[in-house]
Amino acid sequence: PVDRLPEIQEARLKLPVLAEEQVIMEAVRENPCVIVCGETGSGKTTQVPQFLYEAGYASESGIIGITEPRRVAAVSMSQRVATEMNLSKRVVSYQIRFEGNVTDETKIKFMTDGVLLKEVQKDFLLQKYSVIIIDEAHERSVYTDILIGLLSRIVPLRNKKGMPMKLLIMSATLRVEDFTDNQKLFRTPPPVVKVEARQFPVSIHFNKRTPLDDYTGEAFHKTCKIHRMLPPGGILVFLTGQAEVHGLCRRLRKAFPFRRSSTTAGEDDDAENAEAMKKFKKSKNKKPVSLPQIDLDNYSALPVDEGDEDREAGIDDEEDGGSDLDIGDDPDNAEEKADPSNPLYVLPLYSLLAPEQQAKVFRAPPPGTRLCVVATNVAETSLTIPGIKYVVDCGRVKKRFYDRVTGVSSFKVTWTSQASANQRAGRAGRTEPGHCYRLYSSAVFGDFSLFSEAEITRRPVEDLVLQMKDLNIDKVVNFPFPTSPSMEALMAAEQLLISLGALKEPPHTGRVKDMEKARLSCPITPLGRAMASFPVAPRYAKMLALGKQQDCLPYVIALVAAMTVREIFEDLNRPAGSEDENSKLVQRRARIAQMKRLWAGHGASLLLGDLMVMLGAVGACEFSGCTPKFCEENGLRYKAMVEIRKLRGQLTNAVNTVCPDVRLFVDPKMAPPNENQIFCLRQIVLAGLGDHLARRVQVEDLLDPKWKNGYKTCLMDDPVFIHPSSALFKTLPDFVVYHEILETTKMYMKGVSAAEAE
Ligand code: ADP
Ligand code: MG
């Protein structure tokens, strides 16, 4: 029996999902798989595990497992459910990639989908669990999709073996045909239980104009206006990433600082808010500064994070705001003066935020303040923040994109889908009618795609194929994907994995058809298993797997980190605005060319070419403490260097987990590789990038002048070239390996090293 506090019980009863408890539990009793759909905030994540617990699904024979695509949700939901059930976190626990609090007593376990996938690798039947709940299935993350495919097989197997298991799939949208109308996945379509949400109407206000890049500035002005002009109610702002979130929080805190009363000071020690307050107090002691009149229509003139706090009260607020809730889309009058009479309680929310910081969004804001949460996508469906009446939506999302040539991924900000934008708007109507301010025009909205595509169709799949082979699923084509990747993508993946030695090459038989079939069902090799355990793409995993030779691992890790982060050098070929700027640019280019020559080294290291330059840059930058100043002076992108640093730490941990005997650590004073190591590194790079080999066109073959100084690759008919910025531009070795090909004025190879034998 669960002993809940009265106030918790009262809050639970208000959740729409409570009304469906009987229906859901009956469906679960009678079916191996059940789908539960319900609006965000209807109580799926927090309540369904409790229903199952109370119905006795957590017993000696197994526990309840819930997967989340996001770490923040796994942590925060486990804490919430523990609180609601009045149980210790030893009983309701979580596990995410590098941390968790699971014990022998754990009965309800929240985890990321990646964690459960790893568990399938250890115990295919998932015997620990009596129920698995796949949450947020609408997000269609790759791991979630694969888990659903796997569980569609695991559940019947468990039933056959007399160890019954249940599967629940939970989704915030009704778009579940990929799971229900999919014979390959579930022969008998699982029943769908709909939870009717109590949703209040949300009025949508579009901008007339769409800001092209400064949407955070626009979000700032809109939030200021809402706070100044509109009746009480929380504000939720959607931005795309952690840095943006912090930037906006800072600006808003400066604009609307709040003085902590003695009752709230103790229980809440939000350092940033306190800081803003301190600064504000200081600024009040100063004599008021009179600032030059600014053009209120031109905010680009305002320095972004400076000077907003002690600007004098200038122009009055809106003429007669408040009645018309469509507050327009131009930032007029929303000047950035500090207004402590009108405090705003500003909280950030994003995936990697510390759990105690995350938990704050669920508490009531201090009396007399308005809550304003500045969030990334996590607030779209994973977490429901109480009391939100206004949503400000930038309409964008940060997504991973994959380079078709290299498979290297990067994060880019793009427009979101109509479905996502509507989810975001819905956050404003949980407790009363609300308003959503879209920082883009209705025409732009009309051009959004209707739904976000399943992630699995947008990226190369060699890493998934490798993971599946590691699960001994040899015929990946036959796998019951909710949405299958294209045959072309699967073939390309299998081919690459064979060439990397991760899969066994099929025996040569005469018939083309048989060969093709065999190519799609190759078993994994021992090397493939080692590679599968590293958290990077198979090419790089291969390099890491080979790195143990000659103590090369620290170098391989630094190289893999540098190659995975795009463009470590600043672009100095931009046109200069003035004579003065031009001469500075010329100077800097000269300085960087000099540094590159220095980092390229001499003798054997020259053969490593651009990779040696990367290693040298990473080493030197780390040696200097990775400061913005060092980067600036040496033409390195500071952000890239910080990313590389984080990745080195992560990869070092991963390698230590796989082979504890190497006892690696990130050495900030890494010495340059010696001659043997350089030789070894070249072999290792060639092993990972074997299909990125190019051969210099010989003079005697040179019939067409377009091939002058050109290289021939196996992928392209046209010549490719070594870029003038490359360390090997003048050397022109006979064979080179490249990291990627970029097309600008010509097809240029980047990250080039020499491949021929000495
Ligand atoms: P769903 O999964 O259907 O989106 P949830 O179960 O996440 O819904 O949320 C149900 C309710 O529980 C929401 O109103 C939400 O605000 C509340 N809630 C969730 N986590 C917390 C928490 N840590 N503290 C307070 N309330 C919470
Ligand atoms: Mg949920």
Among the bound ligands, name the one nearest to the CA of residue 46: 1
Q: d(Cα 531, Cα 539) in Å, to the nearest integer? A: 9
For ligand 1, what atom is nearest to the CA of residue 381? 4
Q: d(Cα 427, Cα 391) in Å, to the nearest integer? A: 7
| 171 Cα: distance to centroid of ligand 2 (angstroms) | 8
Residue minimizing CA distance to atom 25 of ligand 1: 362
Among the bound ligands, name the one nearest to the CA of residue 47: 1
Residue 685's Cβ-count burial label (10 Å; 0-12, 13-18, 19+) is: buried
| 46 Cα: distance to centroid of ligand 1 (angstroms) | 6
| 383 Cα: distance to centroid of ligand 1 (angstroms) | 7
Residue minimizing CA distance to atom 15 of ligand 1: 384
Residue minimizing CA distance to atom 13 of ligand 1: 41
Residue to probe by mutation, ligand 1, list 382, 384, 424, most atoms within 8 Å of CB: 384
The torsion defined by the Cα of 244, 247, 250 and 252, in degrees rounded to 10, comes to -60
| 528 Cα: distance to centroid of ligand 2 (angstroms) | 36
For ligand 1, what atom is nearest to the CA of residue 359? 23
**Mean pLDDT, 10 residues at a time, the chain of 758 residues:** 92 93 97 94 96 94 94 92 96 87 96 92 94 95 93 96 96 89 92 88 93 91 95 96 92 86 43 50 38 26 22 24 44 58 92 80 92 93 89 92 54 89 92 94 95 84 90 90 89 90 83 70 90 85 87 92 82 73 86 90 88 93 90 87 85 82 77 89 91 84 81 82 90 90 80 77
For ligand 1, what atom is nearest to the CA of residue 80? 23
Residue minimizing CA distance to atom 18 of ligand 1: 384
Question: Cβ distance 273 to 258 under 8 Å?
Answer: yes
List strand residue ranges (DSSP E) for 684-745, in order.
693-696, 711-713, 721-722, 735-737, 740-743
Buried b (16+ CB within 10 A) or exposed e, 138-150: bbbbbbbbbbbbb
| 121 Cα: distance to centroid of ligand 1 (angstroms) | 32
Q: Which DSSP state fits 569?
A: B
Residue minimizing CA distance to atom 10 of ligand 1: 43
Question: Cβ distance 208 to 363 under 8 Å?
Answer: no
| 430 Cα: distance to centroid of ligand 2 (angstroms) | 14
| 11 Cα: distance to centroid of ligand 1 (angstroms) | 10
Q: d(Cα 244, Cα 237) in Å, to the nearest integer? A: 11
| 138 Cα: distance to centroid of ligand 1 (angstroms) | 18
Q: d(Cα 608, Cα 736) in Å, to the nearest integer? A: 10
| 78 Cα: distance to centroid of ligand 2 (angstroms) | 12
The pLDDT of residue 64: 98
Q: d(Cα 224, Cα 230) in Å, to the nearest integer? A: 10
For ligand 1, what atom is nearest to the CA of residue 430? 14
Closest-CA residue to 137 (of 47, 68, 34) = 68
Residue to probe by mutation, ligand 1, list 7, 13, 46, most atoms within 8 Å of CB: 46
Among the bound ligands, name the one nearest to the CA of residue 359: 1
Q: d(Cα 659, Cα 546) in Å, to the nearest integer? A: 12
| 424 Cα: distance to centroid of ligand 2 (angstroms) | 14
SS (H, E, C) 417-451: CHHHHHHHHHHHHCCCCEEEEECCCHHHHHHCCCC
Among the bound ligands, name the one nearest to the CA of residue 358: 1
Residue to probe by mutation, ligand 1, list 42, 48, 80, 382, most atoms within 8 Å of CB: 80
- Ligand 1 pocket (Cβ < 6 Å) reads 15, 38, 40-47, 76, 80, 359, 362, 384, 386
pTM of the model: 0.71
Q: d(Cα 598, Cα 753) in Å, to the nearest integer? A: 16
Residue minimizing CA distance to atom 23 of ligand 1: 80
Residue minimizing CA distance to atom 5 of ligand 1: 43
| Secondary-structure percent of the chain, ordered helix, strand, coil, rounded to 5 | 45, 15, 40
Q: d(Cα 645, Cα 475) in Å, to the nearest integer? A: 38
Among the bound ligands, name the one nearest to the CA of residue 80: 1
The pLDDT of residue 758: 44
Among the bound ligands, name the one nearest to the CA of residue 15: 1
| 429 Cα: distance to centroid of ligand 1 (angstroms) | 14
Among the bound ligands, name the one nearest to the CA of residue 42: 1
Residue to probe by mutation, ligand 1, list 18, 110, 170, 362, most atoms within 8 Å of CB: 362
| 674 Cα: distance to centroid of ligand 2 (angstroms) | 53
CA distances from 143 to 110, 176, 380, 487 (A): 15, 17, 19, 19
Residue minimizing CA distance to atom 12 of ligand 1: 43
For ligand 1, what atom is nearest to the CA of residue 385? 16
| 68 Cα: distance to centroid of ligand 1 (angstroms) | 14
- The structure tokens listed for 248 are 């906006």
CA distances from 504 to 470, 487, 496, 515, 716 (A): 13, 20, 12, 13, 27
For ligand 1, what atom is nearest to the CA of residue 47? 6
| 44 Cα: distance to centroid of ligand 2 (angstroms) | 6
Q: Which residues pair with 64 in a beta bridge?
A: 108, 131
For ligand 1, what atom is nearest to the CA of residue 383? 7
Among the bound ligands, name the one nearest to the CA of residue 138: 2
Q: Is the ipTM above a cut-off of 0.95?
A: yes
Q: d(Cα 342, Cα 328) in Å, to the nearest integer? A: 21
| 332 Cα: distance to centroid of ligand 2 (angstroms) | 38
Residue minimizing CA distance to atom 20 of ligand 1: 80
